A and B are shown apart, each in its own frame.
Chain A
Amino acid sequence: MYSHKISCKKEKLVEIRGFVHDVLKQMKLPDLEVNTMVLAVDEVCANLIIHSHQCNPKDHLELRITPSSKTVTFEIVDYGMGFNIDKYEEPKLHDIVKSRRKGGIGLMLVRRIMDKVEYIKGSNHNIYRLSKNL
């Protein structure tokens, strides 16, 4: 298992991406696949940093990556108010375009990229688990 901890600043997203990229490259996965998994993790972390932690640098996210021969599992752990990513209702792409909104498609990407998206509520922490079959 690989793990990395960052403070809740948007500027730290590049660090998270670098960490995920380096772990996945060690597994000799194709570039396209590496990039989409990096993207999915980036999207969940960006959502948590912005919406759950209001970019408070005193808060932290921990990312764990567990590779196996058949899957890669990413767990993003945070403390505080959780967000049930699994129950999130997708907006329609057409409605987003019509309303000129700039946000709202991050979690749609995560669902398209990953095979399983789970939210686990702990006693004082939350786990956002993303699994990708290889």
Chain B
Amino acid sequence: MVEISSEVESDICFITVKGDVDASSSIHLDQSINEATRQFKKILIDCQHLNYISSAGLGVFMSYINDLEEKGIKMILFNMSPKVHHVFEILGLDQLLKITGTEAEAKEIVNGV
């Protein structure tokens, strides 16, 4: 089960992901990111309560890498637990996506500070 919510703070779209993103739930993550990329150039994804991610979830993030570049969108994942971060590291996706520790760091990057 995954719970995804979005809120807007000035020109930034915050997406909060809670629970497990697997083959049965990754579609919800995809829908949220898809919607955000249509409206925002700055997207922050709070992973504090992301308990588990499988290839289905990684695949969702990967599928937007080209779009983000082409459309000049900054998307940052933050607050990730070590076990979830490790899953991104296994295939080197931590190098292809922007992942930071805290919300403050993520905001700095997205605002180009």
Contacts and interface: CB of A to CB of B under 8 A. Distances in A.
Given A14-B1, A42-B54, A43-B54, A93 B92 contact: yes
Nearest to A16: B22
Interface of B is mostly: helix
Contact of A105 (B1, B55, B65): B55
Contacts of A13: 22-24, 54
Contacts of B60: 102
A3 to B, nearest CB: 22
Instruction: Tell me which of A31, A43, A102, A103 has the highest count of chain B C-beta atoms within 10 A of its own C-beta.
Output: A102
A104 B52 contact: no
Interface string A15-31: 00100000000000001
Interface residues of A, number: 31
B55 A103 contact: yes
A85 interface: no
Contacts, number: 86
A46 B82 CA distance: 24
Nearest to B1: A14
A117 to B, nearest CB: 15
B67 interface: yes
28 contacts: A10-B22, A10-B24, A14-B24, A17-B52, A31-B83, A32-B82, A32-B83, A32-B86, A35-B87, A38-B52, A39-B52, A42-B22, A43-B55, A46-B54, A46-B55, A49-B23, A93-B92, A98-B66, A100-B66, A100-B67, A102-B56, A102-B59, A103-B56, A104-B59, A105-B59, A108-B55, A109-B55, A109-B90
